[in-house]
Chains A and B, each alone.
Chain A
């Protein structure tokens, strides 16, 4: 069970990490105030410092209030399971899109998610998957001439 305490700490950690990355990134730049105003790194460096400081503050306050925060449940196991069940296929979609292109990936994603997660009959799943993909192709590729990510299949078909 996920309590607010853990989530607060976790997100503060993420912010801390982002802030630290910013510190590393801006330390390579000149972060002073020169004769003609602030240098390239002036604002990035200060923003990174503020992020690190504020993240620490949130973490400290979370620890001080831990008794209260531990009692607050932010997500029930059932809800979390649904979030993961919905989120993981999206990661799959992005992964597949990197090498098979966006069209193939979205068709597969829609088919799989609607068939197995939505427990819809095959014809619904297939219909939605193909319909959405074809409509997207027509609107973007043909009509508005905005090329989307393509993979080996489209190139084979001479569409890419």
Chain B
């Protein structure tokens, strides 16, 4: 550990040059821009800059690219909170309480909470990387298919089982999510599933297109139904509100620590930031003292997913460098870059390329601080957008959604898909179907199925492999316990049968989530 701190100090001497700080600022700004626009994401930004980095020193190149990634992670929360459109997949969970807060005129407060807790989460992630780099890498090697499956199952169980809501409708939402996620090529058998021989369905149904439809367009339809103007969004921006919110942050120390712990766990294991944010939100909703307020604009509902998202994003850099496992699409592009710069990810990178690895880790501290400062500076700008009349901003959001849906795969068909999911999202909200389980099922259902079937291939069809070692066994058992919780609660008679079905009352608490 002490040796690591020594290395970190060396890293700071590499990272702290005027040129590198300039790269960080530029990268973060560009990242915020791509993060804010739903059509562009961190992967676009990174691929854009990749050709530029060919002529750079690898340390400078990775500092530029990772700074862009931090910027995009911060920027992605902005539109989640302001317009219910997640700029990045990992900020879907931020919409659950962030958007209700914005509608109550607390946009500035929500954005401040989101950015500060994100910065906190990132910091925890980097500290873990700094102190435990070697231990973490060898821990990540223990993950084979059964362990992968167990991690997904646990994330899934902790979100779904900890939620309230009408079980029948939750099951339908889950079924739809799993079903849409299955369309396309099946990894294990290689056959096309549910594509009905349509070329447009071969690549599958993109989760981002579904999110843009369900959340973005669906929410617009709900808003317009209630009235021609944004309800409750106050146009008045008070910078002092930012400081007041910041001063209230320490009150949520426990939520931040819990979110960071979940995030670091999911970043090191193959769960990833998106699943981490859902899992963290789910656990917070269950254990928080303010659980009744979740989904209605609860600050903890913003803090929990944001800390987890960012700590997972930063912690995932470690398996990427030491093992070459890309935790996200962005990481995959960066790995491609690494190869072009002539570096090979692997354990030797830490020994042979100390300047590169520790320079990058050191830059993560600074890059995230710069990120928080810059993104906070944009709050008044974005909050001002809320004061624009809906008759103008509404149609603009529609075009942004459509551009976003198109860029996912460059397919005209996806415009129709987004439109259809917009209508479905509107109906589901009207009937109190929860949207979050659908999204979560789409995100991890497919991966969980692959991992499960890879495990079964390994064990020749025996389920025993899920308990073949303490790691997989513990995780699987926990997941099953979590999943069974609602049925136990049902048996204990906490809900009557009629309530369980479809009545508005039972579903109401799920309104947002």
Please measure, in the bound complex, the distance between the C-alpha atom of A11 and the C-alpha atom of B173, giving whole angstroms: 12
Contact A109 B398, beta carbon cutoff 8 Å: yes
Cβ contacts under 8 Å, B57 to chain A: none
Q: Which of B27-43 contact A (CB under 8 A)?
A: 34, 37, 39-40
Contact in complex: B179, A40 (CB < 8 Å) = no
The proximity string for A residues 103-131 relative to B, scoring 1 for CB distances below 8 Å and 0 otherwise, is 00010011001100111100010001000
A25 to B197 Cα, complex, angstroms:
10
0/1 interface trace, chain B 175-211, chain A, CB 8 Å (1 if under): 1101100100010110101111000000000000000
A118 to B392, CA, bound (A): 7
Residue on B nearest A128 in the bound complex, by CB: B392
Please name the residue on chain B nearest to A117 by beta carbon. Answer: B391
Interface residues of B in 423-464 (CB under 8 A from A): 423-424, 426-428, 430-431, 433, 449, 452-453, 455-457, 459-461
CA distance A37 to B456 in the complex (A): 5
Name the contact of A44 in the complex, choosing from B182, B217, B410, B455 (C-beta under 8 A): B182
In the complex, the answer to whether A140 meets B39 with C-beta atoms within 8 Å is: yes
Nearest chain A CB to B145's CB is how many angstroms away?
11
Number of A-B contacts (CB under 8 A): 194
Contact status B430-A75, CB under 8 Å: yes
Contact A51 B175 (CB under 8 A): yes
* Given A40-B188, A144-B34: A35 in contact with B461 (beta carbons within 8 A): yes
Interface size of A as a range: 35 or more
Please encode chain A, from 2 to 38, with 1 for each CB lying within 8 Å of some chain B CB and 0 for all others.
0010011011001100110110011001000111111
Q: Which residue of B lies closest to A74 (CB)?
A: B430
User: B residues within 8 A CB of A134?
Assistant: none
Chain A residues near B196 (CB, 8 Å)? 25
Contacts A7-B427, A57-B168, A144-B48 known; 10 new A-B pairs at CB < 8 A? A11-B427, A29-B193, A35-B461, A39-B189, A51-B175, A54-B168, A82-B225, A98-B415, A110-B396, A114-B391
**Cβ of A7 to closest chain B Cβ, rounded Å:** 6
B480 in contact (CB, < 8 A) = no
Indicate whether A140 sits within 8 Å of B391 (C-beta atoms), given known contacts A35-B461, A74-B430: no
CB < 8 Å neighbour of B221 from A34, A68, A87: A87
A149 within 8 A of B: yes
Are the C-beta atoms of B40 and A146 separated by less than 8 Å? yes
B431 contacts A8, C-beta separation under 8 Å: yes
Does A153 count as interface, using CB distance less than 8 angstroms? no
Residues of A whose CB lies within 8 Å of any CB of B are: 4, 7-8, 10-11, 14-15, 18-19, 21-22, 25-26, 29, 33-41, 43-44, 47-48, 50-51, 54-55, 57-58, 61-62, 65, 68, 72, 74-75, 79-80, 82-83, 85-87, 90-91, 93-94, 97-98, 102, 106, 109-110, 113-114, 117-120, 124, 128, 132, 136, 139-140, 143-149
Cα A94 to Cα B387 in complex, Å, equals 28
Looking at the assembled complex, report how far the CB atom of A50 sits from the nearest CB atom of chain B, in whole angstroms: 5
Contacting residues, chain A, for B426 (C-beta < 8 A): 83
Closest to B195 in A: A25
A58 contacts B168, CB within 8 Å? yes
Residues of A near B457 (CB, < 8 A) are 36-37
CA distance A124 to B433 in the complex (A): 39
Answer whether residue B144 sits at the interface, using C-beta atoms and an 8 A cutoff.
Answer: no
Tell me if B239 is interfacial: C-beta within 8 Å of chain A: no
Q: Does B395 contact A (CB under 8 A)?
A: yes
Instruction: Kindly report which residue of chain A lies nearest to residue B504, judged by CB atoms.
Output: A72
Residues of A within 8 A of B455 (CB): 37
Which chain A residue shows the least CB distance to B228?
A82
Report chain A residues within 8 Å CB of B468: none
Q: Do A47 and B182 contact each other (CB < 8 Å), given the known contacts A54-B168, A87-B423, A144-B34?
A: yes
User: Could you tell me if A132 and B399 are in contact, using CB atoms closer than 8 angstroms?
Assistant: yes
**A40-B188, A57-B501 known; A144-B40 Cβ under 8 A:** yes
Contact A15 B430 (CB under 8 A): no
Q: In the complex, which residues of chain B have a beta carbon less than 8 angstroms from the beta carbon of A37?
A: 452-453, 455-457, 459-461
Could you tell me the distance between the alpha carbons of A158 and B503 in the complex, rounded to whole angstroms?
A: 57
- Which residues of B sit under 8 angstroms from A79, Cβ to Cβ? 225-226
Q: What's the least CB distance linking A145 to chain B, in Å?
A: 7
B446 to chain A, nearest CB (A): 10
- Report if A97-B39 is in contact (Cβ < 8 Å); known contacts: A22-B179, A41-B193: no
Q: Does the CB pair B503–A65 fall under 8 Å?
A: yes
Sampled A-B contacts (16; CB under 8 Å): A4-B504, A25-B193, A43-B178, A54-B175, A58-B172, A65-B503, A83-B221, A94-B419, A109-B399, A110-B399, A119-B391, A124-B392, A128-B396, A144-B44, A145-B48, A146-B39
* Alpha-carbon distance between A75 and B429 when the two chains are bound, in angstroms: 12
In the complex, what residues of B have CB within 8 A of residue A94's CB?
402, 415-416, 419
B419 and A90 contact, CB distance less than 8 A: yes
What residue of chain A has the Cβ atom nearest to residue B415's Cβ? A94
Q: B431 touching A120 by the CB < 8 A rule?
A: no
**Given contacts A25-B194, A93-B402, A11 and B431 within 8 Å (CB-CB):** yes
Q: Which residue of B lies closest to A48 (CB)?
A: B179
Asked whether, in the complex, the Cβ of A18 is within 8 Å of the Cβ of B179, the reply is: yes
**A86 in contact with B224 (CB, 8 Å):** yes
Q: Of B178, B195, B498, B501, which is within 8 A of A47 by CB?
A: B178
